[in-house]
Structure 1
Amino acid sequence: MAPPATFVDSMALQEVMISSPPDIKPTSSDINDAAPTGGRRAFKSTGPAFVPISGVYGGHLLGQSAYAAYKTVDKSFYCHSITGHFLVGGKPKIPFIYTVETVRQGKTYCTRYVQVRQPSPTDPRPFDSEVIFVATVSFKTVEPRGLESQVPPPTELKQWVSNPKGCEIAPAVDVPSWIEFTKLKGIPPSYTAVDLRKVDVEEENKSRPLHEHRKVQIYKPVGPFPPEEQSCLSICTHIYASDRNGMFAVTGPHNASDNIIHTGSLSHTLVFHANPDKLLFSNTNREGEGSQSWAVLEQVGDSASEGRGFIRSRIWDADGTLLATVIQDALIRVRVDNGDKPVGKGDKRKPTFSESLKSML
């Protein structure tokens, strides 16, 4: 099996020209040397996107949108928040085009608006093609220390990061039928761009109400970062990982993950609370097994209603610092009552996730 793609490979971008008619050509061999065009710059993905089963992983669009936006701001700024809206599912093996617009450029805060498209190679007007994802990315400069407070970290935090390699690699889709399917098919667990591992918290969840069940994953990027991009790529790693398997924090407590008919992210917001120095994966240049090399993603399904689920997540470092908070609104339609009634607009004749997998055995 080929080694997993590094995070740098996964995020790789090439600046492209915005011309009339649009003409997808590199403007510079160095992405940072190209001049902005009319307040907008565009970038084309050159690296692979993670594909859990058939569609592109949403965290890739989030992380790469932030990375593209980073290319348009001064190095004194860092991303402190991002909000993305998923409009159409991404297609594997087709490059993404990220158009970054300068909304505001202030002295301490600035804002970028990113539109993502997947035009076909023969599209004569690629910048007029369908938008599949949009994101608003806010940047700020580092400020002197001011007020300091946070919610206390989980009491189990030290235990979660005590033995990273003892945790199993998180499944591409954390659903019982998928895990069984991969065993029957002999598909080994794998990861790409980010080494993300699942912490077993099933026993402690048994005594919790459904809305307090926790899903816990730990992660770090794969491969080293160039020193000049250590900060921005570390932050993009957190953004990338924040979308992983979150929807199953809603369906899992209901034992309904196998009965999914249709699911997908609608919107995703991440707000960082720590300064860039606390967000660094400082030892990505070496093989580090210590807990300090891992971040913790703690996910809770606060609500399930109206064919949707609401996921609230917190990202911690191993010392208990709250690095970021994530909220996610997701489309979640499942078959209920033994198949007699669908939820939302899902057609009850449509197979569930587990039924689709059984048909492939």
Structure 2
Amino acid sequence: MLDVLRPLERAIAARTRIPSWAVVMQVGGGVALVVALIGFVWDVGWHADLGRDKNLFTIPHLMILAGLLGIGASGAAAIAMATLGEAAGGWRWRGLHIPYSAAALTAFGAGAVAGFPLDDLWHRTYGIDVTMWSPTHLLMIGGASLSPLALALGAGEARWPDESGFVRARRYLVAGAVLIGLSTFQLEFDMGVPQWQALYQPVLIAAAAGIGLVGARAWLGRGGAFFALFMFWLIRGLVALLVGPVLGHQLPHFPTYLGAAAGVELAFLLAGRVTPLALAVLAGLAAAIVGLPAEWLWTHLWSFQPWQPRLLPMIWLPLLASVAGAVLGLAAGRAWRPAPAGLPRPAVPLAAAVLVAALVAPLPRTSISASASLSAQSAGAPHGFAPDRSGVPTLLQDYWIE
């Protein structure tokens, strides 16, 4: 069956110094991620402006589904190409050559696609939710958002030639995609419809900066954080213009990350000969110390939720998330090169645990006890039936709510 793809594998191998499986994974996965990103931002804008949809298969939903299927298919196609080319490295299973990065991309795609029918089941069972952060939504979003990490790992695993020109530009593009993926969890804040505590916004920004920008600097060398940031601005800006002015929805905003990128570059420049762990901690601290004030100012210039002084007592939490993210980012960036991380063995799992704790800490809601009473009375006669999202005939009736 794989022999059908052999001419394509040979054609790619003859025209590039990059293994055919890596080319297929990068091109296919990249296109799929762009489709999924546009559909995702469009879908959130749709719901923010128009409320719940009556049809599961809207255009944004179909774009999301197509993108998620494309992610998984790109990983599977990469495995097929690696098998035909008898790629070195990775796993061997029943005659298949499975690169680690292709396996990760396939798993991310499969998990994200599985979230689509589970989401419909969730709504049928528990009703319609109004947040991005429901379990099934996070399964879909997480699968797509983490896929750029697999693409970056694929660049190191395939040992892309370290040269200037188009190949280096592709590295910048993948590094920017990693930062975009890590930032998608903030989209409720970007669209002005947050359903969760305000503290989550600086925590999520700090975590994304720590992982994405430190990873880019460790992978790309001097200026890497700025190159990744430029790609982030370019792609998020184009998607914002498409969803906003072109498609007629709320213009999505996004964090600047400029202060964090400057802090990361400064830390790498001035750190000198220190251990990798010390470098990661310094970079995470610098990203937070320089980046958080810059983001605070940015929220007052171009954000739906300007940060308020009441966040200050908990500002240590984004600082902690930035440092933990920086340790993970340094380990990831060196894996993408590839090169030894040089970190103590417990550092990565400990940083992951600290980051999870930083994400859980803002979860408890602080609010006052309140009670309310609602009364409804019909505002005219019923005017027919219509099926709801589950296909159940529902009476159309207008009500006054007091």
TM-score (norm 1): 0.23
The structure where helix makes up a greater share of residues is 2
Identify the structure with bigger relative contact order (alpha carbons < 8 Å, sequence gap 6+).
Answer: 1
Structure with the greater alpha carbon radius of gyration: 2
The structure where strand makes up a greater share of residues is 1
